[in-house]
A and B are shown apart, each in its own frame.
Chain A
Amino acid sequence: MPINNVDELVSLLTGGGAVPPRRLQAMKVPRIDNVAAAATVAAQWTSLWRYNGMPGTRGAIPGAAAACDRTTQGALPWTNATGGRTAFLTGRGLGVSQAGIVRVYDRLLHNGGLSGALNTAQTVGGTITRNTGGVGNEIWIEIYGVLGGTTTTVTASYTNQNGVAGRTTIAQAIGGAGASEAQRMILLPLADGDTGVQSVQSVTLAASTGTAGSFGITICRPVIEIGNAVGGFASDSLILQGGPVAVDDNACLSVAFLANGTVAPWVFLNIPIVEST
Protein backbone atom coordinates (compact mmCIF):
# COMPACT_ATOMS: atom_id res chain seq x y z
CA MET A 1 0.00 0.00 0.00
CA PRO A 2 1.41 3.36 -0.93
CA ILE A 3 -0.46 5.11 1.88
CA ASN A 4 -0.60 2.59 4.66
CA ASN A 5 -2.76 4.17 7.30
CA VAL A 6 -4.59 7.26 8.43
CA ASP A 7 -1.52 8.67 10.13
CA GLU A 8 0.32 8.71 6.84
CA LEU A 9 -2.68 10.29 5.14
CA VAL A 10 -2.87 13.03 7.75
CA SER A 11 0.82 13.72 7.38
CA LEU A 12 0.62 13.94 3.59
CA LEU A 13 -2.47 16.16 3.67
CA THR A 14 -0.87 18.59 6.11
CA GLY A 15 2.33 18.98 4.17
CA GLY A 16 4.47 16.18 5.57
CA GLY A 17 5.24 14.75 2.15
CA ALA A 18 8.02 15.72 -0.17
CA VAL A 19 5.70 18.20 -1.89
CA PRO A 20 2.58 19.94 -0.57
CA PRO A 21 -0.83 18.46 -1.30
CA ARG A 22 -2.69 20.03 -4.18
CA ARG A 23 -6.22 19.95 -5.56
CA LEU A 24 -7.89 19.38 -8.85
CA GLN A 25 -10.61 22.02 -8.80
CA ALA A 26 -12.75 22.39 -11.87
CA MET A 27 -16.21 23.11 -13.19
CA LYS A 28 -17.96 21.93 -16.32
CA VAL A 29 -20.81 24.04 -17.71
CA PRO A 30 -23.39 22.78 -20.21
CA ARG A 31 -22.31 25.20 -22.92
CA ILE A 32 -20.42 24.24 -26.06
CA ASP A 33 -19.10 26.84 -28.45
CA ASN A 34 -21.32 29.48 -26.82
CA VAL A 35 -24.57 27.57 -27.20
CA ALA A 36 -26.44 25.38 -24.76
CA ALA A 37 -25.39 21.76 -24.68
CA ALA A 38 -27.89 19.15 -25.79
CA ALA A 39 -30.28 17.64 -23.27
CA THR A 40 -29.13 14.54 -21.48
CA VAL A 41 -30.99 11.25 -21.73
CA ALA A 42 -31.92 9.32 -18.61
CA ALA A 43 -29.81 6.22 -18.04
CA GLN A 44 -27.40 7.19 -20.80
CA TRP A 45 -23.87 8.52 -20.49
CA THR A 46 -23.01 12.03 -21.61
CA SER A 47 -19.49 13.20 -22.36
CA LEU A 48 -18.55 16.56 -20.86
CA TRP A 49 -15.35 16.67 -22.92
CA ARG A 50 -16.64 19.50 -25.07
CA TYR A 51 -18.36 21.46 -22.28
CA ASN A 52 -16.95 24.84 -21.43
CA GLY A 53 -15.43 25.09 -18.02
CA MET A 54 -13.33 26.66 -15.35
CA PRO A 55 -10.42 26.50 -15.95
CA GLY A 56 -10.89 26.85 -19.68
CA THR A 57 -11.13 23.18 -20.54
CA ARG A 58 -13.34 22.87 -23.60
CA GLY A 59 -12.15 19.89 -25.60
CA ALA A 60 -12.04 19.90 -29.37
CA ILE A 61 -13.61 17.39 -31.73
CA PRO A 62 -10.77 15.01 -32.55
CA GLY A 63 -9.72 14.03 -36.03
CA ALA A 64 -7.41 11.10 -36.69
CA ALA A 65 -6.78 8.82 -33.75
CA ALA A 66 -4.48 10.49 -31.23
CA ALA A 67 -3.23 9.65 -27.79
CA CYS A 68 -4.38 12.20 -25.19
CA ASP A 69 -2.46 13.54 -22.23
CA ARG A 70 -2.87 16.17 -19.55
CA THR A 71 -1.77 18.89 -21.97
CA THR A 72 -4.48 18.07 -24.49
CA GLN A 73 -6.99 20.93 -24.66
CA GLY A 74 -9.98 19.70 -22.70
CA ALA A 75 -8.08 17.80 -20.02
CA LEU A 76 -8.77 18.78 -16.42
CA PRO A 77 -5.79 20.62 -14.95
CA TRP A 78 -3.37 18.75 -12.77
CA THR A 79 0.37 18.28 -12.53
CA ASN A 80 2.43 15.11 -12.55
CA ALA A 81 4.04 13.62 -9.51
CA THR A 82 7.67 14.50 -9.06
CA GLY A 83 10.82 12.80 -7.80
CA GLY A 84 9.81 9.33 -8.88
CA ARG A 85 6.71 9.39 -6.69
CA THR A 86 3.13 8.58 -7.66
CA ALA A 87 0.14 10.94 -7.50
CA PHE A 88 -2.82 9.69 -5.49
CA LEU A 89 -6.34 11.02 -5.30
CA THR A 90 -7.39 10.89 -1.66
CA GLY A 91 -10.91 12.30 -1.74
CA ARG A 92 -13.72 13.13 -4.06
CA GLY A 93 -15.70 16.31 -3.64
CA LEU A 94 -18.52 16.74 -6.09
CA GLY A 95 -21.17 19.28 -6.82
CA VAL A 96 -23.68 18.54 -9.53
CA SER A 97 -26.84 20.32 -10.53
CA GLN A 98 -28.76 17.20 -11.50
CA ALA A 99 -29.10 13.73 -10.11
CA GLY A 100 -26.72 11.28 -11.68
CA ILE A 101 -23.30 9.70 -11.53
CA VAL A 102 -20.13 11.59 -12.34
CA ARG A 103 -17.17 9.62 -13.58
CA VAL A 104 -13.65 10.98 -13.85
CA TYR A 105 -11.63 8.97 -16.32
CA ASP A 106 -8.30 8.98 -18.06
CA ARG A 107 -8.87 9.65 -21.73
CA LEU A 108 -6.21 7.50 -23.32
CA LEU A 109 -7.01 7.93 -27.01
CA HIS A 110 -9.71 9.39 -29.17
CA ASN A 111 -10.63 9.89 -32.77
CA GLY A 112 -13.49 11.53 -34.63
CA GLY A 113 -14.88 11.97 -38.08
CA LEU A 114 -16.61 8.59 -38.31
CA SER A 115 -19.93 8.36 -40.13
CA GLY A 116 -23.26 7.11 -38.91
CA ALA A 117 -24.32 6.39 -42.47
CA LEU A 118 -21.81 3.70 -43.39
CA ASN A 119 -22.16 -0.03 -42.85
CA THR A 120 -18.55 -0.88 -43.61
CA ALA A 121 -15.55 -1.00 -41.28
CA GLN A 122 -14.19 2.45 -40.42
CA THR A 123 -10.59 2.65 -39.33
CA VAL A 124 -9.66 3.82 -35.83
CA GLY A 125 -6.02 2.95 -35.08
CA GLY A 126 -3.61 4.92 -32.95
CA THR A 127 -1.48 3.89 -29.98
CA ILE A 128 -2.21 4.48 -26.31
CA THR A 129 0.64 5.74 -24.18
CA ARG A 130 -0.59 4.92 -20.65
CA ASN A 131 -1.79 1.63 -19.21
CA THR A 132 -0.49 0.10 -22.39
CA GLY A 133 -1.07 -3.43 -21.11
CA GLY A 134 -4.72 -2.61 -21.53
CA VAL A 135 -6.28 -4.18 -18.43
CA GLY A 136 -9.14 -1.99 -17.29
CA ASN A 137 -9.33 0.07 -20.45
CA GLU A 138 -12.73 0.49 -22.05
CA ILE A 139 -14.00 1.27 -25.55
CA TRP A 140 -16.65 3.95 -25.93
CA ILE A 141 -18.50 5.44 -28.84
CA GLU A 142 -18.53 9.23 -28.47
CA ILE A 143 -20.95 11.18 -30.64
CA TYR A 144 -19.94 14.68 -31.76
CA GLY A 145 -22.60 15.42 -34.41
CA VAL A 146 -26.13 14.07 -34.27
CA LEU A 147 -26.55 10.67 -35.92
CA GLY A 148 -29.66 9.43 -37.67
CA GLY A 149 -32.91 8.28 -36.16
CA THR A 150 -32.68 4.69 -37.38
CA THR A 151 -31.54 2.28 -34.71
CA THR A 152 -28.91 -0.23 -35.69
CA THR A 153 -25.98 -1.88 -33.90
CA VAL A 154 -22.29 -1.16 -33.67
CA THR A 155 -19.24 -3.28 -32.89
CA ALA A 156 -15.53 -2.59 -32.71
CA SER A 157 -12.60 -4.77 -33.61
CA TYR A 158 -9.84 -4.49 -31.02
CA THR A 159 -6.72 -5.97 -29.52
CA ASN A 160 -7.25 -7.28 -26.02
CA GLN A 161 -5.04 -7.19 -22.93
CA ASN A 162 -3.12 -10.23 -24.12
CA GLY A 163 -2.25 -8.67 -27.44
CA VAL A 164 -4.80 -10.75 -29.35
CA ALA A 165 -6.03 -8.74 -32.33
CA GLY A 166 -9.35 -9.14 -34.10
CA ARG A 167 -11.48 -9.39 -31.01
CA THR A 168 -15.03 -8.07 -31.43
CA THR A 169 -17.10 -6.15 -28.90
CA ILE A 170 -20.66 -7.14 -28.09
CA ALA A 171 -23.06 -5.32 -30.39
CA GLN A 172 -24.76 -2.26 -28.95
CA ALA A 173 -27.57 -0.09 -30.24
CA ILE A 174 -26.64 3.11 -32.04
CA GLY A 175 -28.89 5.62 -33.77
CA GLY A 176 -32.37 6.58 -32.72
CA ALA A 177 -33.50 8.15 -29.46
CA GLY A 178 -30.93 7.88 -26.69
CA ALA A 179 -28.14 6.69 -28.96
CA SER A 180 -27.76 9.42 -31.54
CA GLU A 181 -27.44 12.74 -29.72
CA ALA A 182 -24.30 14.83 -29.52
CA GLN A 183 -22.17 14.09 -26.45
CA ARG A 184 -23.73 10.65 -26.05
CA MET A 185 -21.27 7.97 -24.93
CA ILE A 186 -22.00 4.32 -25.59
CA LEU A 187 -19.92 1.66 -23.88
CA LEU A 188 -18.93 -1.24 -26.12
CA PRO A 189 -18.65 -4.32 -23.87
CA LEU A 190 -15.63 -6.50 -24.51
CA ALA A 191 -15.83 -10.05 -25.75
CA ASP A 192 -16.26 -12.74 -23.12
CA GLY A 193 -13.12 -13.25 -21.08
CA ASP A 194 -11.41 -10.01 -22.07
CA THR A 195 -10.43 -7.58 -19.34
CA GLY A 196 -9.03 -4.72 -21.32
CA VAL A 197 -7.99 -3.10 -24.55
CA GLN A 198 -4.67 -2.20 -26.08
CA SER A 199 -5.97 -0.75 -29.32
CA VAL A 200 -9.02 -0.50 -31.57
CA GLN A 201 -8.57 -1.33 -35.21
CA SER A 202 -11.99 -0.42 -36.57
CA VAL A 203 -15.64 0.16 -35.84
CA THR A 204 -18.56 -1.13 -37.90
CA LEU A 205 -22.24 -0.26 -37.98
CA ALA A 206 -24.60 -3.03 -39.04
CA ALA A 207 -26.57 -0.52 -41.11
CA SER A 208 -26.85 3.19 -41.64
CA THR A 209 -28.52 5.27 -38.95
CA GLY A 210 -29.83 7.44 -41.77
CA THR A 211 -27.57 10.42 -41.15
CA ALA A 212 -23.80 10.64 -41.24
CA GLY A 213 -23.44 12.90 -38.24
CA SER A 214 -20.06 12.48 -36.61
CA PHE A 215 -18.75 10.12 -33.98
CA GLY A 216 -15.52 8.63 -32.77
CA ILE A 217 -13.96 6.01 -30.55
CA THR A 218 -12.58 6.93 -27.14
CA ILE A 219 -10.46 4.53 -25.11
CA CYS A 220 -10.94 5.31 -21.43
CA ARG A 221 -9.64 4.10 -18.11
CA PRO A 222 -12.04 4.87 -15.23
CA VAL A 223 -10.49 6.70 -12.27
CA ILE A 224 -13.27 7.56 -9.78
CA GLU A 225 -17.03 7.80 -9.69
CA ILE A 226 -19.39 9.53 -7.32
CA GLY A 227 -23.15 9.50 -7.38
CA ASN A 228 -25.66 12.09 -6.38
CA ALA A 229 -29.28 11.13 -6.00
CA VAL A 230 -30.87 14.55 -6.01
CA GLY A 231 -28.23 17.05 -7.06
CA GLY A 232 -26.15 19.06 -4.61
CA PHE A 233 -22.74 18.72 -3.00
CA ALA A 234 -21.34 15.40 -1.87
CA SER A 235 -17.95 14.24 -0.71
CA ASP A 236 -16.12 11.37 0.85
CA SER A 237 -12.73 9.87 1.37
CA LEU A 238 -11.18 7.47 -1.05
CA ILE A 239 -8.92 5.97 1.57
CA LEU A 240 -12.00 4.59 3.30
CA GLN A 241 -13.49 3.39 0.02
CA GLY A 242 -10.81 0.92 -0.97
CA GLY A 243 -7.77 3.15 -0.84
CA PRO A 244 -6.40 6.22 -2.56
CA VAL A 245 -6.42 6.07 -6.33
CA ALA A 246 -3.14 6.27 -8.20
CA VAL A 247 -3.14 8.40 -11.33
CA ASP A 248 -0.70 7.81 -14.13
CA ASP A 249 1.63 10.63 -15.03
CA ASN A 250 0.22 12.69 -17.89
CA ALA A 251 -3.30 11.29 -17.43
CA CYS A 252 -5.86 13.16 -19.52
CA LEU A 253 -8.55 13.46 -16.85
CA SER A 254 -12.00 14.12 -18.17
CA VAL A 255 -15.61 13.84 -17.01
CA ALA A 256 -18.63 11.81 -18.08
CA PHE A 257 -22.11 11.91 -16.58
CA LEU A 258 -24.69 9.15 -16.29
CA ALA A 259 -27.90 11.14 -16.29
CA ASN A 260 -31.03 10.54 -14.30
CA GLY A 261 -32.99 13.07 -16.32
CA THR A 262 -32.85 15.36 -19.31
CA VAL A 263 -31.27 18.57 -18.01
CA ALA A 264 -27.61 18.91 -18.89
CA PRO A 265 -25.56 19.24 -15.69
CA TRP A 266 -23.17 21.65 -14.14
CA VAL A 267 -20.40 19.71 -12.41
CA PHE A 268 -17.97 20.94 -9.76
CA LEU A 269 -14.97 18.91 -8.66
CA ASN A 270 -12.64 19.28 -5.70
CA ILE A 271 -10.22 16.36 -5.62
CA PRO A 272 -7.22 16.38 -3.26
CA ILE A 273 -3.98 14.96 -4.64
CA VAL A 274 -0.91 13.86 -2.68
CA GLU A 275 2.33 12.26 -3.73
CA SER A 276 3.79 9.14 -2.20
CA THR A 277 6.19 6.42 -3.15
Chain B
Amino acid sequence: MAISTLAALNAATVLRRPFAKVGNGTSSFGGLMSKWTLAGRPGGAPATARTLNDTTPGALFPIPAPLGGNQMFLAGGSLLCPIQTQSLGIGGAGFMLIDRLVDTSGLSGNLNTEQTTNLPTPALPARAGNGTGVWAALEAFVPGSWFSADPGTIALKYTNEAGVTGRIGEFGDRIWNGNREQGLFIPAWLADGDMGVSAIESITLGAAAGTGGTLGVVLWRPIAIIGPPEMTYTRGQWHAFWDLGDIPQLTGDECLSILQIPANNPTSFAQNHNATPQSGFLHFAEG
Protein backbone atom coordinates (compact mmCIF):
# COMPACT_ATOMS: atom_id res chain seq x y z
CA MET B 1 0.00 0.00 0.00
CA ALA B 2 0.98 3.60 -0.36
CA ILE B 3 3.20 5.41 2.09
CA SER B 4 1.10 8.26 3.40
CA THR B 5 3.55 10.72 4.94
CA LEU B 6 7.13 11.86 4.69
CA ALA B 7 7.74 10.59 8.21
CA ALA B 8 6.43 7.18 7.22
CA LEU B 9 8.64 7.21 4.13
CA ASN B 10 11.68 8.02 6.22
CA ALA B 11 10.80 5.31 8.69
CA ALA B 12 10.32 2.82 5.88
CA THR B 13 13.64 3.64 4.25
CA VAL B 14 15.55 0.82 5.78
CA LEU B 15 17.45 -0.81 2.95
CA ARG B 16 20.58 0.82 1.66
CA ARG B 17 22.65 -0.77 -1.04
CA PRO B 18 26.04 0.55 -2.14
CA PHE B 19 27.40 0.45 -5.63
CA ALA B 20 30.63 1.48 -7.29
CA LYS B 21 31.81 1.73 -10.85
CA VAL B 22 35.16 2.82 -12.21
CA GLY B 23 35.41 5.40 -14.93
CA ASN B 24 35.03 4.60 -18.57
CA GLY B 25 38.41 4.52 -20.24
CA THR B 26 37.33 7.14 -22.68
CA SER B 27 34.10 8.81 -23.49
CA SER B 28 32.87 11.27 -26.02
CA PHE B 29 30.97 14.44 -25.69
CA GLY B 30 27.26 14.45 -25.89
CA GLY B 31 26.28 10.82 -26.08
CA LEU B 32 25.11 8.23 -23.60
CA MET B 33 27.75 6.08 -21.94
CA SER B 34 26.91 2.81 -20.21
CA LYS B 35 28.76 1.63 -17.13
CA TRP B 36 27.52 -1.94 -17.59
CA THR B 37 30.85 -3.58 -18.32
CA LEU B 38 32.97 -1.57 -15.92
CA ALA B 39 34.65 -2.80 -12.80
CA GLY B 40 32.72 -2.54 -9.64
CA ARG B 41 30.30 -5.31 -10.40
CA PRO B 42 31.07 -5.71 -14.07
CA GLY B 43 28.70 -7.15 -16.58
CA GLY B 44 29.87 -8.54 -19.84
CA ALA B 45 28.88 -9.21 -23.37
CA PRO B 46 26.41 -12.09 -23.33
CA ALA B 47 27.32 -15.24 -25.25
CA THR B 48 23.75 -15.47 -26.47
CA ALA B 49 20.66 -13.33 -26.20
CA ARG B 50 19.30 -13.32 -22.66
CA THR B 51 16.84 -11.70 -20.33
CA LEU B 52 18.23 -9.86 -17.33
CA ASN B 53 17.26 -9.40 -13.72
CA ASP B 54 18.71 -8.07 -10.50
CA THR B 55 20.99 -11.08 -10.01
CA THR B 56 22.63 -10.85 -13.44
CA PRO B 57 26.32 -9.96 -13.01
CA GLY B 58 26.64 -6.35 -13.99
CA ALA B 59 23.47 -5.20 -12.24
CA LEU B 60 24.33 -2.67 -9.55
CA PHE B 61 23.23 -5.14 -6.88
CA PRO B 62 20.57 -7.77 -6.14
CA ILE B 63 17.42 -6.09 -4.83
CA PRO B 64 16.19 -7.53 -1.57
CA ALA B 65 12.71 -8.97 -1.80
CA PRO B 66 10.13 -6.87 0.06
CA LEU B 67 8.64 -8.43 3.13
CA GLY B 68 5.10 -9.56 3.63
CA GLY B 69 3.73 -8.48 0.30
CA ASN B 70 5.00 -4.96 0.69
CA GLN B 71 5.70 -2.72 -2.26
CA MET B 72 9.26 -1.60 -2.93
CA PHE B 73 10.14 2.00 -3.68
CA LEU B 74 13.32 3.85 -4.49
CA ALA B 75 13.40 6.42 -1.73
CA GLY B 76 16.74 8.11 -2.23
CA GLY B 77 20.29 7.89 -3.34
CA SER B 78 23.71 9.31 -2.97
CA LEU B 79 26.34 9.59 -5.61
CA LEU B 80 29.96 10.63 -5.59
CA CYS B 81 32.24 11.46 -8.48
CA PRO B 82 35.56 11.78 -6.71
CA ILE B 83 37.64 12.99 -9.62
CA GLN B 84 37.39 16.49 -10.87
CA THR B 85 39.80 16.81 -13.72
CA GLN B 86 39.57 20.36 -14.87
CA SER B 87 38.81 23.72 -13.42
CA LEU B 88 35.43 24.17 -14.99
CA GLY B 89 34.04 21.12 -13.27
CA ILE B 90 33.01 17.89 -14.84
CA GLY B 91 29.29 17.77 -14.60
CA GLY B 92 29.72 14.14 -13.82
CA ALA B 93 27.34 13.64 -10.96
CA GLY B 94 24.11 13.13 -12.84
CA PHE B 95 22.94 9.84 -14.26
CA MET B 96 20.00 7.95 -15.59
CA LEU B 97 19.08 4.85 -13.64
CA ILE B 98 17.77 2.19 -15.99
CA ASP B 99 16.40 -1.33 -15.94
CA ARG B 100 18.14 -3.56 -18.48
CA LEU B 101 15.65 -6.10 -19.77
CA VAL B 102 17.34 -8.02 -22.59
CA ASP B 103 20.77 -7.89 -24.18
CA THR B 104 22.68 -9.65 -26.94
CA SER B 105 26.08 -9.50 -28.55
CA GLY B 106 27.82 -10.85 -31.64
CA LEU B 107 27.01 -7.99 -33.99
CA SER B 108 29.72 -6.59 -36.21
CA GLY B 109 30.76 -3.08 -37.08
CA ASN B 110 32.18 -4.27 -40.37
CA LEU B 111 29.15 -5.58 -42.26
CA ASN B 112 26.76 -3.67 -44.41
CA THR B 113 24.24 -6.47 -44.74
CA GLU B 114 21.35 -7.21 -42.43
CA GLN B 115 22.64 -8.83 -39.23
CA THR B 116 20.57 -11.27 -37.22
CA THR B 117 23.18 -12.91 -34.99
CA ASN B 118 21.51 -13.75 -31.67
CA LEU B 119 18.38 -12.02 -32.93
CA PRO B 120 15.48 -11.65 -32.60
CA THR B 121 15.76 -10.84 -28.95
CA PRO B 122 13.99 -13.18 -26.54
CA ALA B 123 10.64 -12.37 -25.00
CA LEU B 124 10.64 -9.48 -22.60
CA PRO B 125 10.54 -10.30 -18.90
CA ALA B 126 7.12 -9.96 -17.32
CA ARG B 127 7.97 -6.66 -15.64
CA ALA B 128 8.24 -5.01 -19.07
CA GLY B 129 4.71 -5.84 -20.17
CA ASN B 130 4.03 -5.68 -23.89
CA GLY B 131 6.93 -3.34 -24.64
CA THR B 132 5.22 -0.01 -24.17
CA GLY B 133 7.89 2.31 -22.83
CA VAL B 134 10.68 -0.13 -23.67
CA TRP B 135 13.64 1.50 -25.41
CA ALA B 136 16.29 -0.05 -27.68
CA ALA B 137 19.98 0.73 -27.82
CA LEU B 138 23.17 -0.41 -29.51
CA GLU B 139 26.00 -1.01 -27.03
CA ALA B 140 29.75 -1.44 -27.48
CA PHE B 141 30.94 -3.99 -24.94
CA VAL B 142 34.67 -3.60 -25.55
CA PRO B 143 36.83 -0.89 -27.08
CA GLY B 144 37.95 -1.63 -30.57
CA SER B 145 38.59 -0.47 -34.05
CA TRP B 146 34.99 -0.93 -35.13
CA PHE B 147 33.47 2.13 -36.73
CA SER B 148 36.87 3.43 -37.70
CA ALA B 149 35.02 4.58 -40.81
CA ASP B 150 31.58 6.09 -41.08
CA PRO B 151 28.95 3.31 -40.88
CA GLY B 152 26.26 5.63 -42.18
CA THR B 153 22.74 5.08 -40.97
CA ILE B 154 22.33 2.13 -38.62
CA ALA B 155 18.86 0.84 -39.21
CA LEU B 156 16.91 -1.11 -36.64
CA LYS B 157 14.17 -3.58 -37.53
CA TYR B 158 11.94 -4.28 -34.57
CA THR B 159 8.58 -5.45 -33.31
CA ASN B 160 6.57 -2.71 -31.67
CA GLU B 161 4.44 -2.78 -28.55
CA ALA B 162 1.43 -3.90 -30.55
CA GLY B 163 3.27 -6.92 -31.94
CA VAL B 164 3.70 -5.46 -35.41
CA THR B 165 6.91 -6.82 -36.90
CA GLY B 166 9.22 -5.24 -39.42
CA ARG B 167 9.06 -1.73 -38.00
CA ILE B 168 12.06 0.44 -38.91
CA GLY B 169 13.91 2.81 -36.62
CA GLU B 170 17.47 4.01 -36.38
CA PHE B 171 20.26 4.14 -33.85
CA GLY B 172 21.19 7.72 -33.18
CA ASP B 173 23.18 10.05 -35.36
CA ARG B 174 26.55 10.58 -33.77
CA ILE B 175 28.26 7.23 -33.95
CA TRP B 176 30.11 8.03 -37.12
CA ASN B 177 32.13 10.76 -35.47
CA GLY B 178 34.89 8.24 -34.88
CA ASN B 179 33.60 7.23 -31.46
CA ARG B 180 34.60 3.72 -30.54
CA GLU B 181 34.57 3.73 -26.79
CA GLN B 182 33.69 0.86 -24.50
CA GLY B 183 30.28 1.61 -23.11
CA LEU B 184 29.06 3.68 -26.02
CA PHE B 185 25.29 3.35 -25.75
CA ILE B 186 23.24 4.60 -28.67
CA PRO B 187 19.47 4.68 -28.15
CA ALA B 188 17.13 4.19 -31.06
CA TRP B 189 14.34 6.39 -32.27
CA LEU B 190 11.22 4.64 -33.45
CA ALA B 191 8.83 4.87 -36.36
CA ASP B 192 6.05 7.41 -36.06
CA GLY B 193 3.44 6.42 -33.53
CA ASP B 194 5.28 3.51 -31.93
CA MET B 195 5.33 3.56 -28.13
CA GLY B 196 7.97 0.94 -27.49
CA VAL B 197 9.84 -2.17 -28.59
CA SER B 198 8.96 -5.75 -27.75
CA ALA B 199 11.77 -7.35 -29.81
CA ILE B 200 14.68 -6.41 -32.06
CA GLU B 201 14.78 -8.41 -35.27
CA SER B 202 17.92 -7.15 -37.00
CA ILE B 203 20.29 -4.26 -37.53
CA THR B 204 21.80 -3.02 -40.79
CA LEU B 205 24.77 -0.69 -41.11
CA GLY B 206 24.84 1.68 -44.02
CA ALA B 207 28.48 0.80 -44.66
CA ALA B 208 31.11 -1.62 -43.40
CA ALA B 209 33.10 0.45 -41.00
CA GLY B 210 36.29 -1.12 -39.71
CA THR B 211 36.73 -4.38 -37.87
CA GLY B 212 34.07 -6.47 -36.26
CA GLY B 213 34.14 -5.38 -32.66
CA THR B 214 31.78 -6.67 -30.00
CA LEU B 215 28.48 -4.95 -30.38
CA GLY B 216 25.09 -5.87 -29.07
CA VAL B 217 21.60 -4.57 -28.65
CA VAL B 218 19.84 -3.82 -25.38
CA LEU B 219 16.19 -3.43 -24.49
CA TRP B 220 15.79 -1.22 -21.44
CA ARG B 221 13.56 1.18 -19.55
CA PRO B 222 14.40 4.46 -17.82
CA ILE B 223 13.64 4.44 -14.10
CA ALA B 224 14.83 7.82 -12.90
CA ILE B 225 17.06 10.73 -13.75
CA ILE B 226 19.13 11.74 -10.78
CA GLY B 227 21.27 14.83 -10.78
CA PRO B 228 21.63 18.32 -9.45
CA PRO B 229 19.10 20.92 -10.56
CA GLU B 230 21.73 22.65 -12.66
CA MET B 231 24.56 20.52 -13.99
CA THR B 232 27.62 22.59 -13.25
CA TYR B 233 30.29 21.87 -10.69
CA THR B 234 28.84 19.12 -8.59
CA ARG B 235 31.09 16.28 -7.53
CA GLY B 236 28.69 14.58 -5.17
CA GLN B 237 25.16 14.76 -3.98
CA TRP B 238 22.42 13.15 -1.99
CA HIS B 239 18.79 13.12 -2.95
CA ALA B 240 15.66 11.97 -1.31
CA PHE B 241 13.61 10.98 -4.30
CA TRP B 242 10.55 12.85 -3.12
CA ASP B 243 12.82 15.89 -3.43
CA LEU B 244 12.96 15.05 -7.15
CA GLY B 245 9.19 14.80 -7.29
CA ASP B 246 9.45 11.10 -7.99
CA ILE B 247 9.42 7.89 -5.93
CA PRO B 248 9.77 5.05 -8.44
CA GLN B 249 8.20 1.73 -7.55
CA LEU B 250 10.18 -1.43 -8.31
CA THR B 251 9.14 -5.01 -8.73
CA GLY B 252 12.39 -6.23 -7.18
CA ASP B 253 13.58 -7.92 -10.37
CA GLU B 254 15.04 -4.86 -12.06
CA CYS B 255 18.52 -5.13 -13.50
CA LEU B 256 19.72 -1.71 -12.38
CA SER B 257 22.40 0.01 -14.38
CA ILE B 258 23.71 3.52 -14.99
CA LEU B 259 23.97 5.77 -18.02
CA GLN B 260 25.81 9.07 -18.16
CA ILE B 261 26.28 11.85 -20.67
CA PRO B 262 29.83 13.13 -21.10
CA ALA B 263 29.77 16.81 -20.43
CA ASN B 264 32.98 18.01 -21.96
CA ASN B 265 34.69 17.49 -25.22
CA PRO B 266 37.42 14.89 -24.72
CA THR B 267 39.51 16.35 -27.45
CA SER B 268 39.98 19.46 -25.38
CA PHE B 269 41.25 17.91 -22.20
CA ALA B 270 43.73 15.33 -21.09
CA GLN B 271 41.03 13.20 -19.53
CA ASN B 272 37.58 12.47 -20.73
CA HIS B 273 35.03 13.77 -18.36
CA ASN B 274 31.82 12.31 -17.13
CA ALA B 275 33.32 8.92 -17.62
CA THR B 276 34.45 9.38 -14.06
CA PRO B 277 34.40 6.78 -11.34
CA GLN B 278 31.18 6.76 -9.37
CA SER B 279 30.11 5.28 -6.12
CA GLY B 280 27.08 5.70 -3.98
CA PHE B 281 24.02 4.19 -2.41
CA LEU B 282 20.44 3.64 -3.39
CA HIS B 283 17.91 3.67 -0.60
CA PHE B 284 14.81 1.51 -0.66
CA ALA B 285 11.57 1.86 1.23
CA GLU B 286 8.91 -0.75 1.76
CA GLY B 287 5.33 0.16 2.22
Q: A: which residues have CB within 8 A of B?
A: 6-7, 9-11, 13-17, 21, 23, 25, 27, 29-31, 34, 36, 52-58, 73, 77, 89-98, 226-240, 244, 263, 265-266, 268, 270, 272
Contact = CB atoms under 8 A, between A and B. Distances in A.
Contacts of B221: 25
B246 A229 contact: no
Interface in B241-272: 242-247, 249, 260-264
Given A27-B135, A29-B172, A238-B245, A14 B189 contact: no
B226 interface: yes
B126 interface: no
Interface in B1-58: 1-9, 29-32
Contacts of A90: 245-246
B165 interface: no
A10 B5 contact: yes
B195 A55 contact: yes
Interface string B215-238: 000000110111111111000000
B73 interface: yes
A231 B30 contact: yes
Given A91-B246, A97-B261, A236-B244, A16 B2 contact: yes
Interface of B: 1-9, 29-32, 71, 73, 88-89, 91-92, 94-96, 133, 135, 153, 169-170, 172-173, 187-196, 221-222, 224-232, 239, 242-247, 249, 260-264, 274, 287
Nearest to B136: A54
Contact of A272 (B226, B231, B245): B245
Given A229-B230, A236-B229, A14 B224 contact: no
A93 B229 CA distance: 9
Pick the most buried of B6, B196, B222: most chain A CB atoms within 10 A of its CB: B222
B4 A268 contact: no
B174 to A, nearest CB: 8
A269 to B, nearest CB: 8
Contacts of B226: 93, 233, 235
Given A93-B225, A266-B30, 9 more contacts: A10-B5, A23-B222, A52-B189, A56-B191, A89-B245, A92-B245, A232-B263, A234-B225, A268-B96
Nearest to A93: B225
Nearest to B73: A14
B226 to A, nearest CB: 6
B196 A55 contact: yes
Contacts of B222: 23, 25, 268, 270
A90 B96 CA distance: 18
A73 B9 contact: no
B14 to A, nearest CB: 15
